[in-house]
């Protein structure tokens, strides 16, 4: 609320705004707005609503609507609960890499063979974007974030796939925000 919208009671008992203009007052001492409705005045002469909140009024006594309180996406995303949930979701995505089944891999590997075994052929993709600030208050790059939220490096997550596919090199590529688990003919 700006100073120009505050109202006070002067020495004579009249309600005036910050510019010194008198506001219409009814017989009970309430300020009368342009629609004829009474707005109560507290002991200091400020116009208040039924909850006791100060109301800005213009020089005619018309109430100026206050903008509603805001809660931005940045406010929501910065809360620790959201960050902890996001980190847990990212951990689940990462843990799923080493748990890809043969039944899931087989059609992708057959498609790779049909394509002539091109290098860096994607067999699984996931999107991981480190938050601006982790739940512990530290800012991390992708590699450090992966270790922070899952306790393992991306190479450690890929290792079970390498064991499952012994004569195929399993590695990864990263094109933000997508991490691709890729295969190369050994």
DSSP per-residue string spanning the chain: --GGG-EEE-TTS-EEETTS-B--B-TTS-EE-TTS-EE-B-TTS-BB-TTS-B--B-TTSPBPPPPPP---HHHHHTSHHHHHHHHHHHHHHHHHHTT--HHHHHHHHHHHHHTT--TTEEEEEEE----SS-TTS----HHHHHHHHHSS-HHHHHHHHHHHSTTEEEEEEEETTEEEEEEEE-
- pLDDT value of position 69: 82
The answer to whether residues 38 and 28 touch, using CB atoms and an 8 Å cutoff, is yes
Q: For residues 153 and 166, give the distance between their C-alpha atoms in angstroms, rounded to a whole number.
A: 20
Going by C-beta distance under 8 Å and a sequence separation of 6 or more, which residues neighbour residue 149? Answer: 87, 88, 90, 91, 94, 134
Q: For residues 121 and 134, give the distance between their C-alpha atoms in angstroms, rounded to a whole number.
A: 32
- pLDDT value of position 4: 38
Nearest Cα neighbor of 16 from 34, 35, 3 is 3
Give the domain ranges of the chain. Answer: 1-69, 73-185
Tens digit of each residue's pLDDT, the chain (186 residues): 333 344 444 555 555 555 555 666 666 656 665 566 666 665 555 666 656 666 665 556 566 666 788 888 877 766 888 899 999 999 999 999 999 999 999 999 999 999 999 999 999 999 999 999 999 989 999 999 999 999 999 999 999 999 999 999 999 999 999 999 999 998
Cβ neighbours of 79 (radius 10 Å):
11
- pLDDT value of position 2: 37
């Amino acid at each position: 609320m700006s100073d120009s919208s505050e109202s006070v009671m002067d020495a004579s008992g009249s309600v005036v705004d910050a510019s010194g203009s008198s506001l219409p007052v009814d017989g009970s001492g309430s300020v009368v707005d342009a629609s004829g409705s009474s707005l109560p005045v507290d002991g200091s002469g400020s116009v208040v609503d039924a909850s006791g909140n100060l109301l800005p009024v213009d020089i005619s006594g018309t109430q100026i609507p206050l903008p509603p309180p805001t809660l931005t996406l940045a406010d929501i995303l910065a809360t620790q609960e959201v960050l902890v949930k996001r980190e847990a979701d990212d951990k689940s995505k990462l843990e799923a890499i080493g748990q890809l089944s043969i039944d899931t891999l087989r059609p992708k590997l057959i498609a790779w063979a049909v394509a002539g075994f091109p290098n860096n052929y994607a067999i699984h993709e996931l999107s991981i974007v480190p938050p601006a600030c982790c739940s512990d208050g530290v800012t991390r790059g992708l590699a450090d974030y992966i270790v922070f939220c899952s306790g393992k490096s991306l190479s450690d997550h890929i290792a079970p796939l390498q064991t499952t596919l012994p004569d195929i090199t399993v590695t990864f590529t990263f094109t933000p925000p997508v991490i691709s688990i890729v295969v190369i003919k050994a």
